[in-house]
Amino acid sequence: MTPGRPPPRPAPEPAPTADQATEDAMSNATTVSPAHSASTASTLITNIAALVTNDPSLGWGSPRSSKFESGGGSPLGLIQDAAVVIEGDHVVWTGDQSKAPATDNRVDAGGRAVLPGFVDSHSHLVFAGDRTQEFNARMSGRAYSAGGIRTTVAATRAATDAELEAGLTRYLAEALRQGTTTFETKSGYGLTVEDEARALRIAAAHTDEVTYLGAHIVSPDYPDDPAGYVSLVTGEMLDACAPYARWIDVFCEKGAFDGDQARAILTAGKAKGLHPRIHANQLSYGPGVQLAVELDAASADHCTHLTAEDVDALANSRTVATLLPGAEFSTRAEWPNARRLLDAGVTVALSTDCNPGSSFTSSVPFCIALAVRDMRMTPDEAVWSATAGGAAALRREDIGRLTPGARADLILLDAPSHVHLAYRPGVPLVSGVWRRGTRVA
């Protein structure tokens, strides 16, 4: 980029409009100030105590890293006393603040930390109803079972489109205030052709990362005919849902769908241009992770009960293991073994699994704190997994990092270091959020 000047313009169209001709004339006149539109103005965010870039090649060497005790081997590409330059909706420069180029606007970070916006790659936000009583009962000693989903299915079917959308936007606003700038969300509480398609239509108005989960559980309309429901999910329901979705998911679990059913569902989705991701090995050992690797799923989610073969398969694949500690927290279940996965070389993402039954939190910072405290991830690993890891789980390279060319999705913490996300659990540290270059919180 050239500081203080508009970006290079493409060659004019053969017949420019009057407005375009005027703008071109202005930009060519050396005595006129550059004609910036608001969307292409450049903004310098400077006086950043610690900048997480997620590009290790940009991080300081060991002599400088010692100040934060997190430099050696860190994946975060930390830069101290740093600055970021945003132009339009992209990052165009990151580095030492003393070398920052001139810009149109300037924001003083006040010696605080800046990170990429969180990428929440697993949520279930299109639903109605409430499961407070179920949670209360479970916390009083009853075991979690997949059947609780039926309660939400009944409430979701009974809700209007406006009610579903109002709930979705409420949870999205909640997540945004806590630093989530990209989220994936799923259907799965309709389980009819019409109700699944409308959930995805509503979700698609708010995100590109939409997942068809008609195979959440066997619909209560097919109590004695799971094969009939799989036929619906892979047939008429898929046809109605595919236009709104990028991904297809299945809950591969005892009481939901077995390996053969899951393979049939995901294969049908692939044939329609949807890419697979799987709820795998959450409540018990099973075929989900191996199936995810076999089908090149972007992510195997939960990964709580894994054999050595499952870990090896993930380590030798492009499939990300997405860990969802909000679910274990909210069900008092066994934590997934994050250290085993990381030490084997598996790419790990951290997400909320925000849903009304088993993990009703939209807070990525809370999940980071759980991952550090209870899953023994280092703070650096947890922050990487909630940003770059989430991006990998969505097969995205434009988010989850703060390097030139990345989308300008970033968060300002009211703290001098990203480590405070785990060090100060439960404290609302996110004090600024930029999405696509615009400050939104």
Q: Is 275 annotated as belonging to a binding site?
A: no
Is 353 labelled as part of a ligand binding site? yes
Q: Is 216 annotated as a binding residue?
A: yes
Which one of the spans 90-98, 132-140, 221-229, 353-361 is the region binding Zn ion (CB under 5 A)?
353-361
**Residue 54 assigned ligand-binding role:** no
131 marked among binding-site residues: yes
* Interaction of residue 87 with Zn ion, rule CB under 5 A: no
Pick the piece of the chain touching Zn ion (CB under 5 A) from 46-54, 171-179, 235-243, 346-354: 346-354
Q: Site for Zn ion (CB under 5 A): which residue of 353, 380, 381, 409?
A: 353
CB count within 10 Å of CB 44 equals 21
Residue number, 252 or 314, with CB nearest to Zn ion: 252
Q: Rounded CA gap, 137 and 298, in Å? A: 35
- Nearer residue to Zn ion within complex by CB, 353 or 381: 353
- Tell me how far, at minimum, the Cβ of 213 lies from Zn ion, in Å: 8
Per-residue exposure over 286-314, b if at least 16 CB sit within 10 Å of its own CB, e if not: bbbbbbbbbbebbbbbbbbbbeeebbebb
* Burial class, 19, CB count within 10 angstroms (exposed 0-12 / middle 13-18 / buried 19+): exposed
Does 122 belong to an annotated binding site?
Answer: yes
372: Cβ contacts below 8 Å, ≥ 6 apart: 378, 379, 382, 422
Nearer CB in complex with Zn ion: 329/423: 329
Q: Does 261 appear as a known binding residue?
A: no
Report the residue number, 184 or 353, with the smaller CB distance to Zn ion: 353
* Nearest distance from C-beta of residue 343 to Zn ion, angstroms: 25
Task: Pick the closer one to Zn ion by CB: 347 or 359.
Answer: 359
Where is the binding site for Zn(2+), in residues? 122, 124, 279, 353
Where is the binding site for N-formimidoyl-L-glutamate, in residues? 189, 355, 357
Which positions touch Zn ion (CB under 5 A)? 353
